[in-house]
């Protein structure tokens, strides 16, 4: 106890003496190598007297606060609300005193713990730092709560003074109306406030972190002589930055009665649209697909360029809607009859191609001594192909069947849709891969059984989706569209809204069944296309402008993840990897299609293989998840990112070369 008192006195003396001098006194007294014992005892006694005096003052203040609270409770002249407010104010001040005293003792215990530690033990120092950080976080939460209570008390006090002043004067009718409105507004704010901070701070997995609040308009407010209180009350759309350099913006304000807009996102969207026009126009003049220009636009505005895009997540989210509407338009052009004709080839082809890619990845991983989980993940990512990109290739091309033969667009789109189903399966089994990679699963057999169970669940969900589609086509789609068409006479808004709602309904159903949101959009288009060409044409005329605009945002968001400096640094190895991957996917697709296509349709295998010889943009999403989970390293993630980007840039060149060589041959084969 004496040692604790001495250390406590030393901590209090820190407020009166320089930090280095206090630290020297602490170390010398603790280790017994100080100056004369008399001087040490005198120094300790003096600081103990100061400590005891402060503690006595604190105890006296607490007793006075308790007596004042009792007096307030007995004062019958006060209303219940006023009595509760005054008692609460006294309790807040008493709590502040107790917290200050507790902080002193916690500081002393922390100092004692550090003195007993070994400065050579980094693990012990890290644990001590973590404990201090947790204590600071808890103190910050308590202080924030007390500050909010004091702000509320100040507001209540101002309202009480206003009420007293209003009693001394006669209120007009307008003042009475405004007073009633004020009370109703206060009740409204209390009803709609979520209290999410208090409700979530004790939940499992919730951490308190230090963040920076960046206000871009702070200098403008100073120039306009705006008071600090007004500035603080107007906060909300400021940017928060955590210790990991992640940036956050407001998603839901505390006061929902005030409309707000994310001006950063608006500026980013305006920049993307304005720069996409000259970039896409220039690529068109050069004979290149305009999507090249949109990707270049993303590169120029992204982190590797001007770095002017601040709301990257929001831009990418809007671009994801472009994927949904692109697949919906693909489904509109892909009738159920065509889907029925190629579904066996699509399932067999996509499955065999994925298995061949995984097998090749395991062979290469064995040669380079990579972990099997890592090689399975990388090869599965690289086996997927981009459905939005290929659908743009097929926007102008041969779509007709003749004499029971298969056209290349039906086979190609069918295999891409099945790859989207595989994407949903792969996302479902990623947690199992993470557990196997971290060693959390007892054996490989258990991990394999879990993967098989997940596969069975996905197949059952896929069967449920197909059954639902059959029911919708048989009983609901026809009446739904006729009603929608009747209500939208002279008003295209109802038709666009009803079509979009149906797309989002199918998207939600497939996402709920853990299949694939992209598959739901495709099936929505296929179901509507079953109503005939007139229905398809009417819906297409309404949806295509929306699809084109959102597709521009999507391709620009791809450019945000292109890093030219990294590509230039590792250009040789990236070109070798990309060309090897494209050639390998092309050869594998040719072999698979040669085995499963009917004899009369094998002439289309070259063009279908050219459409599959690139990597899907969803490898960005899968790669980021795998990197966060520790399945792949940062270097592997950047390689996958760069190879994917280069393959997407190379895909239009390969497709144009394939169409110039093989489309005339296919047309001659079809005509004969």
Report, as an integer, the average pLDDT of 526-548. 86
Question: Which of residues 19 and 559 earns the better pLDDT score?
Answer: 559
What percent of the chain is predicted at pLDDT more than 70? 70
Residue with tokens 């929902």: 256
Q: Is the pLDDT of residue 6 over 60?
A: no
Average pLDDT value for residue range 5-25: 47
Structure tokens at 351: 């499955």
* Residue of 102 and 210 predicted with greater confidence: 102
Query: What is the number of residues in the chain?
Result: 672
For range 127-145, the mean pLDDT: 73
Whole-Å CA distances, 480 to 178, 327, 386, 528, 541: 49, 21, 32, 10, 19
**Mean pLDDT, to the nearest integer, of 337-349?**
79
Sequence-ordered list of residues with C-beta below 8 angstroms from that of 5, at least 6 positions apart, any chain: 44, 48, 51
The pLDDT of residue 273 is above 90:
yes
Using the 8-state DSSP alphabet, how is residue 440 labeled?
-
Long-range pairs, 12-18, Cβ under 8 A, ≥24:
12/47, 12/50, 12/51, 12/54, 12/104, 13/43, 13/47, 13/50
Distance between CA atoms of residues 576 and 580, nearest Å:
6
> How is 343-386 classified by DSSP, letter by letter?
HHHHHHHHHHHHHHHHHHHHHHHHHTT--HHHHHHHHHHHH---
- In percent, the amount of the chain with pLDDT more than 90 equals 9
d(CA 595, CA 590): 9
How does DSSP classify residue 536? H
Q: Average the pLDDT over each of 16-25, 68-77, 109-118 and give the range with the smallest value.
A: 16-25
Tell whether the model's pLDDT for residue 274 goes beyond 90. Answer: yes
The pLDDT of 202-207, averaged and rounded, is: 61
Nearest to 308 by CA among 263, 260, 272, 262: 272
What is the per-residue pLDDT across 605-663, written as a single tens digit (0 to 9) for each?
Answer: 888 999 999 998 778 777 776 777 777 888 888 888 888 888 988 888 888 888 887 76
Segment 343-357 mean pLDDT: 88
Answer yes or no: are the C-beta atoms of 670 and 405 closer than 8 Å: yes
Cβ atoms of residues 444 and 435 within 8 Å: no
Q: How confident is the model at residue 529 (pLDDT cuts 50, 70, 90)?
A: confident
Quote the DSSP letter at residue 16: T
Average pLDDT of the residues in 527-552: 87
pLDDT grade, residue 250 (50/70/90)? confident
**Confidence at 2, pLDDT banded by 50, 70, 90:** very low
Which pLDDT band holds residue 232 (cuts at 50, 70, 90)?
very low
pLDDT value of residue 270 = 94
Distance CA 323, CA 313 (A): 15
Tokens coding 560: 């945000």
User: Which pTM was predicted?
Assistant: 0.68
pLDDT in tens, 405-440: 567 888 888 888 788 777 766 766 666 666 655 555
Average pLDDT in the 56-73 region? 82
Alpha carbon 538 to its chain's center = 36
**Residue 286 Cα distances to 197, 275, 414, 499, angstroms:** 55, 17, 32, 37
- Between helix 533-559 and helix 290-301 the angle, nearest 10°, is 40
Residue linked to tokens 């949903």: 424
What is the reported pLDDT for 444?
A: 57
pLDDT of residue 170: 54
Q: In what order do the strands lie in the sheet with 239-242?
A: 211-214, 239-242, 247-248
**Could you identify the residue written with the tokens 């010398």?**
28
Residue 16 has pLDDT above 70, yes or no: no
Residue 188 has pLDDT above 90, yes or no: no
| pLDDT single digits (tens) 275-308 | 999 999 998 888 777 888 898 899 999 888 888 8
Residue 339: both structure tokens together: 């889907």
User: Are 297 and 556 in contact, with CB atoms under 8 Å apart?
Assistant: yes
Assess whether pLDDT exceeds 90 at residue 24: no
Q: What is the mean pLDDT of residues 174-200?
A: 65
Q: How far is CA 364 from the centre of its chain?
A: 33
The string of pLDDT tens digits covering residues 469-506 is 889 888 888 888 888 878 777 678 888 898 999 999 99
Identify the pLDDT of residue 461.
Answer: 83
Confidence of residue 139 (pLDDT cuts 50, 70, 90): confident
Average pLDDT, the chain: 75
- The H-or-E segment that residue 560 falls in is none
Helices (H), 75-206: 80-116, 122-167, 173-192, 196-200
Average pLDDT over residues 224-244: 54
pLDDT over 70 (residue 513): yes
């Amino acid at each position: 106890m004496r040692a604790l008192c001495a250390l406590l006195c030393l901590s209090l003396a820190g407020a009166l003496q320089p930090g280095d001098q206090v630290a020297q006194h602490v170390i010398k007294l603790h280790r017994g190598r100080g100056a004369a014992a008399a001087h040490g005892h005198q120094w300790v006694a003096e600081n103990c007297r100061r400590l005891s005096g402060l503690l006595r003052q604190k105890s006296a203040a607490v007793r006075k606060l308790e007596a004042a609270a009792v007096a307030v409770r007995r004062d019958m002249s006060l209303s219940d609300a006023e009595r509760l407010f005054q008692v609460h104010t006294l309790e807040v001040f008493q709590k502040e005193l107790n917290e200050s005293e507790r902080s002193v003792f916690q500081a002393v215990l922390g100092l004692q713990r550090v003195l007993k530690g070994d400065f050579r033990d980094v693990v012990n120092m890290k644990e001590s730092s973590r404990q201090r950080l947790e204590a600071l976080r808890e103190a910050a939460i308590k202080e924030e709560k007390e500050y909010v209570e004091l702000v509320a008390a100040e507001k209540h006090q101002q309202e009480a003074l206003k009420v007293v002043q209003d009693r001394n004067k006669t209120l007009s009718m307008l003042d009475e109306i405004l007073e009633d409105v004020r009370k109703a507004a206060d009740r409204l704010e209390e009803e709609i406030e979520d209290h999410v901070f208090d409700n979530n701070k004790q939940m499992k997995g919730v951490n308190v972190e230090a963040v920076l609040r960046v206000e871009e308009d702070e200098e403008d407010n100073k120039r306009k002589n705006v008071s600090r209180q007004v500035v603080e009350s107007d906060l909300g759309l400021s940017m928060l930055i955590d210790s990991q350099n992640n940036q956050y913006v407001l998603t839901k304000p505390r006061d929902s009665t005030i409309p707000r807009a994310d001006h950063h996102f608006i500026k980013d969207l305006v920049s993307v649209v304005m720069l996409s026009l000259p970039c896409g126009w220039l690529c068109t003049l050069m004979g290149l697909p305009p999507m090249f220009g949109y990707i270049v636009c993303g590169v120029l505005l992204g982190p590797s360029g001007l770095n002017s895009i601040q709301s990257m997540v929001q831009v990418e989210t809007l671009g994801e809607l472009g994927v949904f509407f692109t697949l919906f338009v693909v489904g509109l052009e892909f009738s159920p009859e065509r889907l029925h004709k190629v579904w066996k080839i699509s399932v067999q082809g996509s499955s065999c191609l994925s298995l061949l890619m995984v097998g090749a990845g395991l062979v290469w991983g064995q040669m380079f001594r990579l972990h099997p989980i890592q090689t399975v993940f990388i090869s599965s990512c690289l086996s997927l192909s981009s459905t939005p990109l290929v659908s743009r290739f097929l926007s102008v091309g041969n779509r007709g069947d003749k004499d029971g033969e298969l056209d290349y667009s039906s086979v190609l789109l069918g295999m891409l849709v099945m790859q989207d189903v595989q994407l949903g399966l792969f996302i479902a089994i990623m947690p199992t891969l993470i557990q196997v990679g971290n060693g959390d699963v007892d054996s490989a057999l258990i991990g394999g059984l879990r993967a098989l169970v997940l596969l069975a669940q996905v197949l059952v969900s896929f069967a449920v989706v197909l059954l639902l589609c059959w029911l919708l086509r048989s009983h609901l789609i026809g009446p739904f569209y006729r009603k929608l068409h009747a209500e939208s006479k002279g008003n295209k808004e109802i038709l666009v809204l009803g079509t979009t709602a149906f797309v989002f309904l199918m998207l939600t159903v497939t996402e709920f069944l853990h299949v694939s949101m992209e598959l739901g959009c495709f099936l929505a288009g296929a179901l509507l296309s079953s109503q005939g060409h007139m229905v398809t044409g009417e819906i297409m005329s309404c949806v295509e402008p929306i699809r084109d605009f959102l597709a521009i945002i999507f391709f620009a968001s791809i450019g945000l993840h292109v890093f030219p400096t990294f590509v230039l640094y590792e250009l040789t190895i990236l070109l070798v990897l990309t060309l090897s991957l494209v050639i390998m996917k092309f050869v594998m697709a040719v072999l698979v299609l040669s085995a499963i296509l009917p004899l009369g349709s094998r002439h289309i295998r070259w063009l279908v293989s050219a459409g599959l010889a690139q990597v899907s943009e969803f490898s960005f999403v899968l790669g980021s998840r795998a990197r966060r989970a520790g399945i792949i390293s940062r270097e592997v993630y950047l390689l996958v990112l760069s190879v994917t980007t280069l393959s997407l840039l190379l895909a239009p060149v390969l497709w144009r070369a394939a169409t110039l060589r093989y489309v005339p041959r296919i047309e001659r084969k079809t005509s004969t």
